[in-house]
Amino acid sequence: TKTIYTFSDGALDNTITSLIAQQDGTYKVSYVRKWTDDFAPISAGSTVVTRSGEEGNYTYSVGSVTLRKLGQMPADPDKDPYFSTLSAEQREKALEEENEYLNKLNEQYGEADWQVRYTYNSTTGTWSPYFYKKEDLEKDSVLYSETGASLSNIPCYTIGKAQKQEEIKGVTARFEQDSTGRYISISIYEEDEDGNLMDPVTYSLTTNTTTDQAAYDDAMNQYEYDKNQYDQSIQEINAKIEIIQAQDKNLELRLKQLDTEQNAIQTEMDSVQKVIEKNTESTFKTFG
């Protein structure tokens, strides 16, 4: 089992990942803070894209909507499905928003020439952006049919909810324990601009005990390995015992054979001895 300590700072949930005791009674603590980003770049699957125009000057579209460069005003805003619904002031705000999208996309997926289209949700009355990397549209591996439709789907991205996390490492903290030794609160010290510790902020700790699956799996793997090694050793020992037993049996049979041969020789020698004794006795009688 594994004990996990968590605390909430009012806005974010934090999970302690390590704590190292110091000589002065404080701890160096690292923890992971998690939150939900409601406006994060996320994958939106993939779509078929249509290519039109001449090589070197292609335009790309999904359905009837032509993709355009993200963060750039459409050539004719009044004909753009999305921008045509906006006032002049709203269009400027929309471009500012697109530049924010651009920064987030580059941060999340790497620097790229991003293309965008918008779709309208009639239920919510809102427009949603969908983004494409131009390099994905122009890859040599992407084939287009005679009608211009891509023969494979092109990766697409949008804005949505995503789980985010950040690890805070090596902050100074103190812990309060109950009578059983369990930690019940943490006091975290922030540093001022000169590196001096400020007054701590104290948070209640929540304790959860879970199965450390990775450690359990490692232990089981080690157990299975040791068991296999043991079984293999036993098999090798048993094989050697069988060989020794077979050798003992062969030796026993050989000894029995030698005993039989010795008995036969002894019997033959006894017979010869009797014949000699009989002949000797007859000889003495003849000369007597």
Q: Nearest Cα to 72, choosing from 93, 92, 95?
A: 95
- pLDDT confidence of 94, banded at 50, 70, 90? very high
Of 277 and 176, more confident:
176
- pLDDT confidence of 139, banded at 50, 70, 90? very high
Residues 133, 91 within the same domain: yes
Distance (Å, rounded) from C-alpha 276 to C-alpha 265? 16
Residues 125, 73 within the same domain: yes
Residues 68, 129 within the same domain: yes
Of 128, 152, 176, the one marking the end of a domain is 152
Average confidence (pLDDT) over 77-103: 96
- pLDDT confidence of 124, banded at 50, 70, 90? very high
Give the per-residue pLDDT at 157: 97
- Does residue 122 lie in a domain region? yes
Residues 32, 123 within the same domain: no
Would the pLDDT of 286 be above 80? no
Residues 67, 104 within the same domain: yes
Q: Can you list the positions of beta strands (E) in 2-108?
A: 2-8, 13-21, 27-47, 50-52, 59-62, 65-66, 68-69
**Strand, coil or helix: 136:** helix
Give the per-residue pLDDT at 56: 85
Would the pLDDT of 284 be above 70? no
- pLDDT confidence of 251, banded at 50, 70, 90? confident
- pLDDT confidence of 236, banded at 50, 70, 90? confident
Give the per-residue pLDDT at 224: 82
Mean pLDDT, the chain, rounded, equals 90
Number of domain units in the chain: 3
- Number of H-type helices and E-type strands within the chain: 3, 13
112 is in which domain, residue-wise? 49-152
Of 106, 128, 152, the one marking the end of a domain is 152
**Strand, coil or helix: 210:** strand
Residues 53, 138 within the same domain: yes
Residues 108, 136 within the same domain: yes
Residues 32, 64 within the same domain: no
Residues 56, 19 within the same domain: no
Residues 143, 57 within the same domain: yes
- Does residue 123 lie in a domain region? yes
- Does residue 124 lie in a domain region? yes
- Does residue 59 lie in a domain region? yes
- Does residue 43 lie in a domain region? no
Residues 32, 71 within the same domain: no
Tell me: the pLDDT tens digits for 145-194? 999 999 999 999 999 999 988 999 999 999 999 998 889 999 999 888 88
Tell me: the pLDDT tens digits for 4-21? 899 998 888 899 999 999
Residues 250, 283 within the same domain: yes
- Does residue 144 lie in a domain region? yes
Compute φ and ψ for 214, nearest 5 degrees. -65, -45
- pLDDT confidence of 287, banded at 50, 70, 90? low
Would the pLDDT of 288 be above 60? no
Distance (Å, rounded) from C-alpha 205 to C-alpha 6? 6
Tell me: the pLDDT tens digits for 196-212? 888 999 999 998 887 66
Average confidence (pLDDT) over 85-92: 96
